[in-house]
Amino acid sequence: MKRIVTIQDISCFGKCSITVALPLISAMGIECAILPTSVLSTHTGGFEDFTFRDLSEDIPKIAEHWKKYSIEFDTIYTGYLGTEKQIDYVLDFIKLFGKKDTLVFVDPAMGDKGRLYTGFASDFPSHMAKLCAVADITVPNITEACYLTGTEYKEVYDEKYVKDLAKKVCSLGAKSVVITGVSYEKSTQGAVFYSSKDDTYISYIAENIPRSFHGTGDTFASVLSGALTRGIDIENALKIAVDFTVECIRHTLPEAEKHAYGTKFEECIPYLNELINRQGK
């Protein structure tokens, strides 16, 4: 059985980060260890006066304890991190647990729709860029890729803009990148992969359901990291992650008002199993 450790916050209510990663990665037949970096009463979008308990100082202690037991991970998947200090501790964690064949998967979750999430100072992306630099694969959306690379954010763009953006993210040091939420026209959206080693692109574009729900970036990242950890090739992994995320949105659409805080991904888990089983891996 493969094993992933995911390092991100627990938002107690509102489906994102660990409350999405743990059930989805488990459902994919992969053991999922968690390293919670903070505990919030809710995620930071759409709720006011949320609580925030910083667990930064627990990160090195947990790592040290795990090391004593020689615990190992096939994949280190990092998501939302609340402070610069957490990024430094996560870099130390990767040095300690990263082996030659460990997949370092970095979701630089910090913004959307051209803006940083509540609570992040304008210099936060430059710290997140240090983490992306050590990634085998990083999965920013367009907003995050722009903040990471100092590129002007555009609402309307063409293929060249996205391809250049992907190359710029790799020039930070990441071996490969998936730009998520790519939409060249209203009716479609998808993801664009770029590998700096091979200088090749792979795009997977699907239907766009013009309604946004919280945590869909985390759904995409959890499924992509799980599929890659299972040994599924990037082309199929990309397809599975996009198709599943779109299905979660489609399924939640009839109750969109009630569920803006997160999709009803739980009811779509049988579809995820079907997508994975089709691969025979």
Applying CB under 6 A, the residues found at the interface with ligand PXL are 9, 11, 16-17, 40, 43-45, 80, 109, 117, 215, 217-218
Nearer to ligand PXL, 6 or 176 (CB): 6
Cα separation, 226 vs 281, in Å, equals 11
Nearer to ligand PXL, 109 or 182 (CB): 109
Which 3-state string (H, E, C) describes 45-99? CCCCCCCEEECCCHHHHHHHHHHHCCCCCCEEEECCCCCHHHHHHHHHHHHHHCC
Helices 18-27 and 269-277, interaxial angle, to 10°? 50
Please, what is the minimum distance in Å from the beta carbon of residue 31 to ligand PXL? 22
Nearer to ligand PXL, 117 or 153 (CB): 117
Nearer to ligand PXL, 40 or 232 (CB): 40
Cα separation, 90 vs 98, in Å, equals 11
Nearer to ligand PXL, 109 or 137 (CB): 109
> Given its phi and psi angles, is residue 65 left (phi above 0), alpha (psi -120 to 50 degrees) or beta?
alpha
Give me the sign of the Cα torsion angle 23, 29, 30, 33.
positive
Helix (H) or strand (E) holding 194, with range, is strand 188-195
Cβ pair 8, 109 in contact under 8 A: yes
Nearer to ligand PXL, 11 or 180 (CB): 11
Count the neighbouring beta carbons within 10 Å of the beta carbon of residue 250.
14
DSSP string of 125-143, one letter each residue? HHHHHHHHTT-SEE--BHH
Cβ pair 230, 281 in contact under 8 A: yes
Nearer to ligand PXL, 12 or 256 (CB): 12
Please, what is the minimum distance in Å from the beta carbon of residue 22 to ligand PXL? 13
